[in-house]
């Protein structure tokens, strides 16, 4: 029974309680049940950020109150605005009265659930196994704080670090070096990693915390300048040490399904709308350069898999070897007026909408490159190969940031990896909107 209890997580308690409380106004305002359900659904989406609810390390309803009230009031304003456009003012007044009661009850519910979570942590019913990365003075302070206070729900298994001198070794065992982190996580069944101070490089750190073995674990970081204020939505603290919770790239699992549905719907509609434009461009290409309007070229996609990327032909290469290994530029003599216009306007990329529909690509992601250049750039540029953690995209953050054509490959890799680490559906929407601006003003190659 006890192992089963220990599998219970905060979201399993907090979210159902919030949901039930937000739906309570249905009991005394049955005629507004649709508004109440909409308010509850929107509130839960805002409170979780579209993901899974995670309890803070330092539990305090007062710390959460500004964010809690702000998001509940935002949800209420959206639903009230909709009601106001369709019904009489009395309906809005009634709804807002119900919202006031519901918000008060939600706060009371959070007080109760916070008390339950704190009680569970103190008695060891809720424990997360923690491995600290780094063995310096900060790591030692963290170990001492966590050993003396069970309210954080973290059980320190030990630390990993390179080098020989480690302050934390006086309080907890050293489990290995940074290179051993995968094995340490598996052996100790750790579900939380905390990056403190130690003898390791940031580059090595990036590699080890994003492996398949470490990805499921929550990733926490002590800010480098920890004495400065770190009051953000993702901030927390253990004792007097500020802690930042790092988002795990979420382009796998349910989020990948959401992104795929978004891709199919948008790309399918776009393909129908722009088919006359594609036909007109294809005719112009045929007139200028003869047959062979669609150009198929092997490109590297997710996890290094190759696929045929479709484009409207803007120039005719001498042979297949040249097409695969030559870095073409805008002023190539073989690019005619039609090809130059297609490249500058990015209209030559429109057939890739079909690549998206059939699953080779996504709307937003790192632009795909030819196998020859992927092999070369992976050796020359830091973290270039990490771009292939996700599907290649029709457009991307690098492209709408001015990195198209003959521009810095290192910068493109940095922008692409930033996109992967910070993905959200709203970020995709923003990049698509910025892409329209790029195409409209022909800021192409």
The set of residues, in sequence order, having a beta carbon less than 8 Å from that of 251 and lying 6+ positions away, is 259, 389, 390, 420, 423
User: What is this structure's pTM?
Assistant: 0.74
Give the closest residue to 302 by CA, choosing from 194, 397, 391.
Answer: 391
Q: What is the pLDDT along the chain (445 residues), one digit of tens a residue?
A: 445 455 667 777 888 899 999 999 988 888 888 889 999 999 988 888 656 677 888 888 888 888 899 999 999 999 998 888 887 778 888 889 999 999 999 999 999 999 999 888 888 888 889 999 999 999 999 999 998 888 888 999 999 999 887 888 899 999 999 989 999 999 999 989 999 988 888 888 888 888 888 888 889 999 887 766 655 556 788 888 889 888 776 666 677 888 899 999 999 999 999 999 999 988 988 888 777 788 888 999 998 899 999 998 877 655 566 656 666 655 666 677 887 888 877 888 899 999 999 999 999 999 999 999 999 999 999 889 989 988 999 999 998 888 877 788 999 999 999 998 888 888 899 999 998 877 776 555 4
H-run or E-run covering 22: helix 10-23
Measuring CA to CA, how many Å separate 106 from each of 44, 78, 99, 116? 11, 18, 10, 15
**Stated length of the chain:** 445
CB 343 within 8 A of CB 444: yes
Name all domains of the chain by residue range, CATH numbers in brackets: 2-122 (no CATH), 128-246 (3.40.50.720), 254-440 (no CATH)
Count of CB atoms situated within 10 Å of the CB of 70: 11
Ordered alpha helix ranges (H), 242-396: 254-289, 320-325, 337-345, 352-357, 371-380
Report the candidate in 445, 332, 325 with the shortest Cα–Cα distance to residue 377: 325
């Amino acid at each position: 029974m006890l192992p089963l209890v220990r599998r219970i997580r905060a979201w399993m308690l907090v979210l159902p309680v919030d949901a039930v409380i937000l739906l309570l106004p249905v009991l005394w305002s049955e005629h507004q049940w649709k508004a109440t359900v909409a308010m509850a659904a929107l509130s839960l989406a805002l409170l979780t950020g579209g993901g899974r609810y995670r309890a803070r390390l330092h539990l305090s309803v007062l710390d959460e109150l500004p964010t809690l009230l702000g998001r509940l009031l935002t949800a209420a304003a959206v639903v009230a605005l909709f009601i106001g456009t369709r019904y009489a003012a009395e309906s809005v007044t009634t709804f807002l009265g119900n919202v006031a009661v519901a918000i008060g009850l939600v706060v009371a519910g959070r007080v109760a659930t916070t008390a339950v979570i704190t009680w569970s942590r103190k008695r060891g019913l809720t424990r997360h196994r923690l491995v600290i990365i780094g063995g310096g003075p900060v790591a030692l302070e963290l170990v001492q704080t966590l050993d003396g206070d069970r309210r954080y729900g973290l059980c320190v298994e030990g630390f990993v670090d390179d080098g020989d001198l480690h302050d934390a070794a006086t309080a907890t065992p050293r489990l290995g070096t940074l290179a051993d982190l995968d094995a340490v996580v598996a052996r100790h069944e750790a579900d939380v990693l905390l990056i403190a101070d130690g003898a390791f490089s940031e580059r090595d750190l990036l590699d080890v915390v994003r492996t398949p073995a470490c990805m499921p674990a929550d990733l926490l970081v002590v800010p480098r300048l920890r004495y400065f204020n770190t009051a953000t939505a993702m901030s927390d603290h253990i004792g007097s040490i500020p802690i930042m919770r790092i988002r795990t790239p979420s382009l796998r699992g349910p989020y990948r399904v959401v992104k795929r549905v978004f891709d199919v719907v948008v790309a399918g509609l776009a393909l129908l709308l722009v088919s006359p434009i594609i036909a007109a461009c294809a005719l112009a290409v045929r007139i200028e350069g003869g047959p062979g309007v669609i150009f198929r070229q092997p490109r590297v996609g997710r996890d290094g898999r190759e696929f045929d990327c479709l484009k409207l032909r803007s120039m005719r290469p001498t042979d297949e070897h040249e097409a695969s290994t030559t870095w073409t530029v805008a002023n190539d003599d073989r690019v005619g007026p039609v090809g130059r216009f297609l490249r500058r306007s990015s209209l030559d990329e429109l057939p890739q909408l079909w690549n998206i529909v059939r699953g080779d690509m996504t709307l937003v992601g790192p632009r795909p490159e030819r196998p020859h250049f992927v092999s070369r750039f992976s050796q020359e540029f830091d973290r270039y190969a990490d771009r292939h953690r996700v599907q290649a995209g029709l457009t991307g953050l690098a492209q709408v940031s001015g990195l198209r054509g003959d521009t810095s490959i290192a910068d493109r890799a940095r922008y692409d990896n930033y996109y992967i680490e910070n993905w959200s559906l709203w970020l995709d929407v923003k990049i698509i909107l910025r892409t329209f601006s790029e195409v409209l003003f022909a800021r192409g190659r």
